[in-house]
C-alpha cells in the first residue's frame, strides 16, 4: 500500500479479524524474505543519516513495527493464531470497540467482567507469544494502571478528547471566572449594551 511506499516504520491496523488478515498484513509491511513489500521510493531511505539503501534494507524488517488491533469477537476468538504469525509485533486492545463487538460496551466508564477478561486474555496471549501488548486508556491514571499490569504500549488519550478539553480550559481562563463573566454581562445589561 501507499503508506509503505513512503517508508512507514510502523503501522497499526484496526479491525483485523483472522490469521489470514495478519499474514496479509505482514506480507505488505515487511520486505523480502519476511514479506513482499516493495522497495518504493529511495528518497525516503535517505532520511536515515549515514545508512545506505543496502544497509537500510538489511535491518529494516527488525525496525518496522506491525501492530494489530484486537477489537472484534472474531479477532478475540483468533487471537492465539494471530499472535503466532511471525512479523506481528504488538497486540493492541481497543476496549471500546471490543466491548461493543462482544456485546458489553463500556458504559459510564465501567467495563463488564467479560470485557475485562478479554483484555487480560489479549495481554496474556501477547506475553506467551513474546509480543508487546498495547491498550487504549482514557486518562493518565488509567494508563498508569495498565502500565502496572504490564502493558507496554498505551495510548493515553486522543486528540479528539484532549483538544476540546484544552480549548475549554484556555477559553475559560481567557474569559476569567464564571462569576467575573456573569458580573461583566450584568454590567453590560445595566448599561444597555
Alpha helices in the chain (DSSP H): 2-5, 19-29, 42-45, 53-63, 73-77, 79-83, 95-101, 113-128, 140-149, 159-175, 178-191
Identify any residues that bridge with 132 across adjacent strands, giving them in sequence order: 90
Count CB neighbours of 153 within 10 A: 20
Write down the pTM of the prediction: 0.77
In this prediction, residue 139 has a pLDDT band, given cuts at 50, 70 and 90, of confident
* pLDDT of residue 42 exceeding 70: no
| pLDDT on residue 152 | 95
pLDDT tens-digit readout, 55-77: 777 677 777 899 999 999 999 99
Q: What is the spatial distance between Cα 113 and Cα 59, in angstroms, rounded to a whole number?
A: 42
Nearest CA to 68 among 140, 122, 108, 127?
122
> Nearest 10 degrees: CA dihedral of 133, 159, 142, 132?
10
Amino acid at each position: 500500500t501507499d503508506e509503505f511506499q513512503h517508508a512507514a516504520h510502523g503501522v497499526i491496523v484496526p479491525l483485523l479479524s483472522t490469521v489470514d488478515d495478519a499474514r496479509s498484513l505482514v506480507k505488505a509491511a515487511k520486505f523480502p524474505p519476511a514479506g513482499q513489500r516493495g522497495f518504493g521510493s529511495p528518497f525516503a531511505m535517505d532520511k536515515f543519516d549515514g545508512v545506505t539503501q543496502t544497509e537500510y534494507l538489511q535491518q529494516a524488517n527488525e525496525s518496522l513495527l506491525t501492530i494489530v488491533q484486537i477489537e472484534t469477537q472474531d479477532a478475540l476468538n483468533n487471537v492465539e493464531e494471530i499472535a503466532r504469525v511471525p512479523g506481528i509485533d504488538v497486540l493492541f486492545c481497543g476496549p471500546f470497540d471490543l466491548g461493543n463487538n462482544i456485546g458489553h460496551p463500556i458504559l459510564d466508564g465501567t467495563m463488564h467482567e467479560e470485557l475485562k477478561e478479554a483484555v487480560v486474555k489479549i495481554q496474556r496471549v501477547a506475553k506467551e507469544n513474546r509480543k508487546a501488548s498495547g491498550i487504549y486508556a482514557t486518562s493518565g491514571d488509567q494508563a498508569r494502571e495498565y502500565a502496572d499490569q504490564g502493558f507496554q504500549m498505551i495510548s493515553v488519550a486522543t486528540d479528539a478528547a484532549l483538544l476540546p478539553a484544552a480549548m475549554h480550559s484556555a477559553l475559560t481562563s481567557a474569559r476569567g471566572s464564571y462569576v467575573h463573566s456573569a458580573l461583566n454581562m450584568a454590567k453590560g445589561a445595566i448599561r444597555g449594551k
